[in-house]
Structure 1
Amino acid sequence: MTIELIFATSFVVGLTGAMMPGPLLTLTVAESARHGFRAGPLLVLGHGILEAALIVALTAGLAAVLVRAEVTAAIAVIGGAFLIWMGYSIARDALRGRVQLAVAAGGNPGAAAGTAAVPALPRLVGLGIATSLSNPYFTLWWATIGLGYITLSLERGPAGLTAFFTGHILADLAWYSLVAAAVAGSGRFLTPRIYRGILAVCGSFLVTLGGYFIWSGLVRNLWLG
Structure 2
Amino acid sequence: MIASLSTGMILGFSAGMAPGPLLALVISETLQYGARAGIKVALAPVLTDLPIILLTLFVLSRLSGLDTLLGLISLGGGVFLCYLAWQGLTFSGSPMGAEAAPRARSLQKAVLVNVLSPHPYLFWLTVGGPVTVRALEHAWFAGAAFIGSFYLLMVGAKMGIAVLVGRSRRLLCGRPYIYTMRALGGMLLLLALFLLHDGLVLIGVILP
> Fold-level match, TM-score > 0.5?
yes
CA distance in 2, matches of 1:181, 1:86: 25
TM-score of the superposed pair, with normalisation by structure 2? 0.82
Question: Residue in 2 aligned with 1:79?
Answer: 77
CA distance in 2, matches of 1:158, 1:151: 10
Alignment of 1:150-161 (within 5 A): 150-161=132-143
Question: Residue in 2 aligned with 1:23?
Answer: 21
CA distance in 2, matches of 1:89, 1:21: 10
CA distance in 1, matches of 2:168, 2:189: 33
Of 24, 49, 52, the residue aligned with 2:50 is 52
Alignment of 1:1-225 (within 5 A): 3-66=1-64, 68-92=66-90, 94=91, 97=92, 99-100=93-94, 123-124=106-107, 126-187=108-169, 192-219=174-201, 222=204, 224=207
Give the 3-state SS of the residue equivalent to 2:35 in structure 1.
coil
CA distance in 2, matches of 1:147, 1:129: 21
Counterpart code for 1:128: A
Question: Residue in 2 aligned with 1:113?
Answer: none
Counterpart code for 1:129: V
Q: 1:157 to 1:200 in 2, by over 3 A?
A: same
Counterpart code for 2:64: L
CA distance in 2, matches of 1:152, 1:213: 12
Range that drifts further, 170-179 or 26-35: 26-35
CA distance in 1, matches of 2:159, 2:125: 26
Q: 1:213 to 1:59 in 2, by over 3 A?
A: same
Give the 3-state SS of the residue equivalent to 2:19 in structure 1.
coil
User: Does the 8 A contact of 1:101 with 1:192 survive in 2?
Assistant: no
Q: CA deviation at 1:164?
A: 1.6
CA distance in 1, matches of 2:171, 2:25: 19
Q: CA deviation at 1:67?
A: 5.3
Range that drifts further, 149-158 or 74-83: 149-158
Q: Summarize deviations over 1:80-128 as a string: whole Å, max 9, x none.
A: 1221232123202x2xx2x32656x69xxxxxxxxxxxxx8xx31x223
CA distance in 2, matches of 1:177, 1:78: 30
Q: 1:63 to 1:157 in 2, by over 3 A?
A: farther
CA distance in 1, matches of 2:38, 2:2: 27
Q: CA deviation at 1:201?
A: 0.6
Q: 1:26 to 1:188 in 2, by over 3 A?
A: closer
RMSD in angstroms over aligned alpha carbons? 2.7
User: Does the 8 A contact of 1:75 with 1:217 survive in 2?
Assistant: yes
Q: Summarize deviations over 1:153-187 as a string: whole Å, max 9, x none.
A: 33234212211211111122221111110122134
Give the 3-state SS of the residue equivalent to 2:149 in structure 1.
helix
